[in-house]
Amino acid sequence: MLNRPQNGLKLDLNEAVHRVSFKSNGVNYLRECFASYPDKVIVLRLTASKKGMISGKIRLADAHQAAISVSGNKITAKGKITENQMEYESQIQVLNKGGKATKAAMEDIALKTNLQNLKIPGVESASVMPSGVN
């Protein structure tokens, strides 16, 4: 196990979990990341010691012009790669505690388009799980 308490970094090879903790304005934050091969998912879990302290927007960007949609707590991109006609789908599922994720549009000036994204209002915790299939 690697432990760097001065930075709040910890890598536990026995549990296969990476943890980063820090304190800001009296709130303790914890970010954990792990993967599950049987479930074919990577999980990024964000928690705070006070309710309503985690917020932000999550979006899927795609290099192959996939159709991106938001439904409930899930963002989905479905597309086909032009060169080999392979169809694919990627998803980001967010499980949050203490609030409700909502669909929101976000303008991407570089792409000159509005992208679908998931807005996470002040929540106590959120687990972000990207996955993909072809």
Q: pLDDT at position 69, please?
A: 86
The secondary structure of 71-127 as a DSSP string is ETTEEEEEEE-TTT--EEEEEEEEEEESS--EEEEEEETTTTEEEEEEEEEEESEEE
Mean pLDDT, residues 9-20: 81
Write out pLDDT tens, residues 96-132.
888 777 777 655 544 445 567 788 888 888 898 888 7
Domain boundaries, given as residue ranges, for the chain: 2-133
Q: What pTM was computed for the model? A: 0.74
Show the tokens assigned to 49: 């010691």
Q: What are the tens digits of pLDDT across the range 43-79?
A: 999 999 999 999 888 888 778 888 888 888 888 889 9
- The CATH code belonging to domain 2-133 is 2.70.98.50
Q: What is the pLDDT of residue 50?
A: 92
Q: Rounded mean pLDDT of 86-99? A: 88
pLDDT at position 2 is 41
Place of tokens 């060169």: 83
Mean per-residue pLDDT of the chain: 81
Q: By mean pLDDT, which of 4-18, 29-43, 72-86, 87-101 is the weakest?
A: 4-18
Q: Tell me how far apart the alpha carbons of residues 130 and 33 are, in angstroms, rounded to a whole number.
A: 12
The 10s digit of each residue's pLDDT in 20-38 is 998 888 888 999 999 888 8
